[in-house]
Amino acid sequence: MAQVAVVTGGGSGLGREMALALAAAGFEVIITGRTEQKLRETADAAGSGRVECAVLDVADGAAVRGLFDGLERVDLLVNNAGTGAPAAPVQDVTEEDWRRVVDTNLTGSFLCAQAAFALMLRQDPKGGRIINNGSISAHVPRPHGIAYTASKHAISGLTKGLELEGRAHGITACQIDIGNAATQMTERMSQGVLQADGSVAVEPTFDPRIVADFVVRIAQLPTSVAVPTLTVMAAGMPYVGRG
């Protein structure tokens, strides 16, 4: 029987690459997102019938619980759905933008993890793996990105909590901290982005399929093996010694 994976934010970018890689590796994949057309494009790109679509806002707890209640089992959850806010100094960040980022990146990840965790506890055999999409921003901030940075710092706590509580049940949690994978979100890197010293600099990017390959490899490990954190980034990006 094929293993079942749920990938949030699977309609584009990293989520699409993860879903395609998992399907190619033999997983039955369910992708979620808010735009049906983008989800269908991912499913069509897989071309194997292994990718199913579910239109879903991860910040909607009832909808999230409804999705997982309709599944017989889940072996892997990839919490990939995320969003950012317009770059702005602290004093200019709107409450609306703050709440939208935190609701999607943090609360949405918690709601999906909670529902997956509950299913992993009651399925037979029980257990599974949860992979959270963190960020280099889970460790060091960029200027004018406080909402995104705070949400990704919080993902670190969420991942550790899941790993701790999952120990007795064969449930492992991993956080992949990704730096400058070449997606729509990082297109601005080629135009130059604000640095901590006030300068503007072009930053390198890398192929997002590399991240997808890591997701597959971690997913294929036995649950007796934990990978709490993994950092994958473009060589030369300003992370070590940023600022």
pLDDT tens for each residue of 213-229: 999 999 999 888 999 99
Tell me: the pLDDT tens digits for 62-88?
A: 999 999 999 999 999 999 999 999 999
- Token digits of residue 19: 């879903």
pTM of the prediction? 0.93
H helices of the chain, in order, are 13-24, 36-46, 61-69, 95-102, 108-122, 146-166, 209-219
pLDDT in tens, the chain (243 residues): 899 999 999 999 999 999 999 999 999 999 999 999 999 999 999 997 899 999 999 999 999 999 999 999 999 999 999 999 999 999 999 999 999 999 999 999 999 999 999 999 999 999 999 999 999 889 988 889 999 999 999 999 999 999 999 999 999 999 999 988 877 776 777 788 888 888 888 888 889 999 999 999 999 998 889 999 999 999 888 887 655
CB 176 within 8 A of CB 226: no
φ, ψ of residue 6 in degrees (nearest 5) = -110, 125
φ, ψ of residue 192 in degrees (nearest 5) = 100, 135
Instruction: Give the pLDDT score at 243.
Output: 53
Burial of 136 per CB tally in 10 Å (0-12, 13-18, 19+) = buried
Instruction: Give the pLDDT score at 22.
Output: 98
Q: How far is CA 43 from CA 16, 122, 144, in A?
A: 9, 29, 35
How many Å apart are CA 136 and CA 113, to the nearest integer?
21
Q: How far is CA 98 from CA 21, 32, 140, 232, 239, in A?
A: 32, 23, 18, 26, 24
What is the 3-state secondary structure of 80-135?
CCCCCCCCCCHHHCCHHHHHHHHHHHHHHHHHHHHHHHHHHHHCCCCCEEEEEECC
φ, ψ of residue 181 in degrees (nearest 5) = -65, 140
Bridge partners, 52 (sequence order) = 30
- Token digits of residue 117: 């965790």
Residue 148 bears catalytic tag: yes
**Which residue in the list 27, 110, 117, 148 is annotated as catalytic?**
148
Q: From the options 3.40.50.720, 3.40.50.1000, 3.90.1170.50, 3.40.50.2300, give the CATH code of 4-233.
A: 3.40.50.720
